[in-house]
Every structure is written in C-alpha cells, then in structure tokens.
Amino acid sequence: MSESIPLPDFPAGHVWLCGAGPGDAGLLTLHAVNALKQADVIVHDALIGAGILALGNPVAERVYVGKRGGQSATQAQISQTLIELAQAGKRVLRLKGGDPFMFGRGGEEAHALATANIPYRIIPGVTAGIGGLAMAGIPVTHRDVNQAVIFATGHDPATDWAAIAHAAPVIVIYMGLKRIGDIAQILIKAGRGADEPVAIVTDASLPTQQVLHTILGRISDDLATHPMSPPAVICIGGTVDILENTNG
Ligand code: SAH
C-alpha cells in the first residue's frame, strides 16, 4: 500500500516531532509509521500506547518522558534529551499523543531544537479534540449549529471561561476532567444554557473508549454516578447530539 507513496529517509542526527493520534494505530499517518520504522530512539510520553510502540523499529531504544507515575521529566530536560540524542547522531523520533502542536508543547520543543541548530521536521497528527470526538460520532462543526469552535485546556486556572462562553457555540476542552464541574458553573453564569448537551469521551479511539452524554447543568452529578478517568476530551454545544437526533 504505502510502497507507491514516496516517504522521506530519516537522516541521522535529526529529530522528528511527530503526532501519534488519539491512540488507535489506524489513525497514525503514513509519515508517522515511516518515522517509527526508521527511528533509532523513540522518545514518548504516557499517551503513546503499546500498540503504537510495537510498530517501531524493534531495535530502537524507547525513552519514556511522561508525566504519569514517579518523577516526571521537566520540559527543559525533555528538550535537552532530544538535543543530546541528535548530537550523538541518532534518528530521534519524538512521539506525542494527538497532534504535536495542539496542547502538546511541540512548539516549545521545536524552538529548543532550532535554537540548538538541530535539524527537525514536524509530522502532524490527528488531535483528540477533532478525531477523538469523531470516533464518538461528534462533529466539531455542523453548518446548522456553529460557524466557530474553540479549543481550550481545562488545566490552567488563568483561563477566562466567561469570555470563552461567548466566543463560540461549541467548546472543546482538553485536560478538563478534574475541573469540568466548576467550569460548567462559570459557563452557565456567563449565559450558556444549563441544558446544553455535553459529551465526555475517554480513551477515544481505543477499545476502552467510553462516552458520557450529559448536559451542562448536570455534569458533576453525572460524573459522581459514572466516574471517568483521563485522558478525556469534553465537547459542549449543539453538535454533540446532532447525529443522535438524526434519523437514518
Ligand atoms: N497533543 C494532544 C493533546 C495533549 S494534552 C492532542 O492533540 O490530542 C493531553 C490531553 O489530550 C488529555 O488530557 C485529553 O484531554 C486529550 N486526549 C489525548 N488523547 C486522548 C484520547 N485518546 N481520548 C480522550 N482524550 C485524549
């Protein structure tokens, strides 16, 4: 299949910053698979599952720099690791969940590589906030519902949720499971309907995927009776149930 598609050679001493999609190996790009096959070392975080790592060059070294369990590497340490591996002449694959430039610190790592004069390439990936929701049957735009969509992280206490409430009819939240009850209250106070549909999708695209459908005013109660664990992507707005409400 991919034989006829020209894919680049991975030069020694280069770093490829690559998105791996939400988890299902079928959502890798051909560029990502090409990178996995040629890498000497794969630097990855917690969201990269065993199924995707298994597609890598079997002799490639795997370096885990994730934030789950034990002491986590700082961003500066991760960038330094990439620089040192490249300087040692390795083909360095920096593999990230989703898309490397969507809440993935890919921009920071690219900047560090550029500053250190390390040649690099960016390989986009399917982001959880679009492709992950699609796997749950949720379009992030629909011509009858919204002309804009906003992607936000639920993680940063400085986020202006009242402004976001007015910014777009559909709001997609990454890293928001812990704070979603509070966020929902602020959105309602700012004028969003308590009856607006919400979907929470965990482990999107994986066999363990779960989807909770609720409404803005009931998120906390529903999560109390149906506890969910990260990674979760949350979609708020009229596109959430548009396919469910369609006949056929
Ligand atoms: N760069 C990634 C996002 C990294 S931030 C991307 O483009 O998707 C990590 C967050 O991404 C998680 O907390 C969660 O909100 C979301 N995420 C990543 N993979 C996911 C998955 N399979 N299911 C649900 N959410 C996911």
124 Cβ neighbours under 8 A, 6+ residues apart: 19, 29, 99, 100, 101
Phi and psi angles of residue 144, each rounded to the nearest 5 degrees, phi first: -85, -10
State the pairing for strand pair 170-174/61-64: unpaired
Per-residue model confidence (pLDDT) at position 244 = 80
Catalytic residues: 45, 67, 175
CA of 233 to the centre of ligand 1 (A): 6
Query: In ligand 1, which atom is closest to the CA atom of 100?
Result: 1
- Tens of pLDDT, residues 204-218: 999 999 999 999 999
For residues 104 and 97, is the Cβ–Cβ distance under 8 A? Answer: yes
Confidence of residue 5 (pLDDT cuts 50, 70, 90): confident
- Tens of pLDDT, residues 11-23: 999 999 999 999 9
- Tens of pLDDT, residues 121-140: 999 999 999 999 999 999 99
Q: Residue 127's closest CA among 230, 53, 31, 22? A: 22
Q: Is 9 left (phi over 0), alpha (psi -120 to 50) or beta?
A: beta
| Ligand 1 site residues, Cβ closer than 6 angstroms | 22-23, 47, 96-99, 102-104, 127-128, 132, 174-175, 201-205, 230-233
- Tens of pLDDT, residues 55-81: 999 999 999 998 765 567 899 999 999
Atom 2 in ligand 1: residue holding the nearest Cα? 98
Q: Residue 61 carries which side chain, given as an amino acid letter?
A: E
Domains of the chain with CATH codes? 15-126 (3.40.1010.10), 129-247 (3.30.950.10)
